[in-house]
Amino acid sequence: MSEIQVLLVAGTHGNEINPIWLFEQWDKLAVLINTYGIATHKVIGNPKAYKSGKRYINNDLNRSFVKQSFSKTNHSNFEITRAADLLQIYGENGENPCQIALDFHTTTSSMGSCLVVYGRRASDLALASLLQSKLGLPIYLHESDDAQTGFLVESWKCGLVIEIGPVAQGLFDSRIISQTKIILESCLEQIKLVENDDVFFPDKLIVHRHIKSIDFPRDSKGFINGCVHPLQQSKDWYPLQLNDELFLIPEGKTIKFEEKETFIPVFINEAAYMEKNIAMSLTKREVWEFKSEWKKALFDLVQK
Ligand SMILES: [Zn+2]
């Protein structure tokens, strides 16, 4: 029996520096993090961008795990090369193969801490259920968005993104570092409990399922000409309903939400998403019955 290996990634985005700082302190003081005896490999996802104080060098590393692009010879693109290298070292057939990847990010949105799950892989949903049960974390389920692919954790058999905020890019915040530490240790604790067959799964999983993202209002030349309305700013996770104030145009005009359906907005005014033309993403809150196959998938992975 080979033991479970967990890949821990900080700084997939080089300007999300709080998880990186935690990892660096952990390097200096091994007892800083309780790993519950789980074997871990920690890496800085995008060290070059971190050194440059940028999110990325050529393109977003967390959209670069697209295997078709690895075979191409054009590797002046740092992030494509980095994604291929990480897989060569820590991927399923790598030098230090890891079965679970945990990718620690920060957000500028007022979302608190949450988990991001990509698609509906059974083992991801099982691990997310355990963490939601333990810590009460909301889950943003990202799927069915063809414009957004190549996420790091999808290249491992099980993987979650942990988003912690709000914090500005490139700014240390002790509360964000503490929250990162608590969630990191809880992840490892739950994996250990699965290994020991001593774990309690909840009956239900609450997810906020991604439906779509919306852009800022723009002028005829494509420039942003309206900001998130002050009544909507920091209202992540609160229902957004017909006629709610959405954007404020400089001359004082308010743009209201026009859809008849109610959505739950997340990533409101996330600084990194301006370049993606995203002012916020809209989700639907759903309560799912826990499925025994989720548990089986995670057990099969951890206890193999
Ligand atoms: Zn990030």
Q: Are residues 203 and 218 in the same domain?
A: no
| Alpha carbon distance, N-terminus to C-terminus of the chain | 7
Q: How far is the CA of 87 from the centre of ligand 1 (A)?
A: 19
Q: Are residues 40 and 168 in the same domain?
A: yes
Q: CA-CA distance, 77 to 191, in Å (whole number)?
A: 35
Q: Are residues 101 and 158 in the same domain?
A: yes
> What does pTM read for this prediction?
0.96
Helical axes 174-195 vs 122-135, angle rounded to 10°: 120
CB atoms within 10 A of CB 195: 17
In the structure, ligand 1 is a single-atom ion and the residues with CB under 5 Å from it are 13, 16, 105
Q: Are residues 175 and 239 in the same domain?
A: no
List, in order, residues 6 or more apart from 84 with CB less than 8 Å away. 70
- 88 to each of 70, 97, 176, how far by Cα in Å? 11, 9, 31
Q: Which domain holds residue 296?
A: 5-207+288-302
What is the DSSP-derived secondary structure letter of residue 152? G
- Per the DSSP assignment, residues forming a β-bridge with 164 are 106, 113
> Half-sphere exposure of residue 302, counting CA atoms within 13 Å on the CB side?
29
CB atoms within 10 A of CB 137: 20
Q: How far is the CA of 1 from the centre of ligand 1 (A)?
A: 35
Q: Are residues 261 and 126 in the same domain?
A: no
Q: CA-CA distance, 264 to 271, in Å (whole number)?
A: 19
Q: How far is the CA of 105 from the centre of ligand 1 (A)?
A: 4
Q: How far is the CA of 154 from the centre of ligand 1 (A)?
A: 15
Q: Are 206 and 138 in contact (CB under 8 A)?
A: yes
pLDDT per residue of the chain (304 residues) written in tens, 0 to 9: 459 999 999 999 999 999 999 999 999 999 999 999 999 999 999 999 999 999 999 999 999 998 777 766 566 899 999 999 999 999 999 999 999 999 999 999 999 999 999 999 999 999 999 999 999 999 999 986 777 789 999 999 999 999 999 999 999 999 999 999 999 999 999 999 999 999 999 999 999 999 999 999 999 999 999 999 999 999 999 999 999 999 999 888 999 999 999 999 999 999 999 999 999 999 999 999 999 999 999 999 998 7
Residue 223: CATH number of its domain: 2.20.25.160
Q: How far is the CA of 49 from the centre of ligand 1 (A)?
A: 12
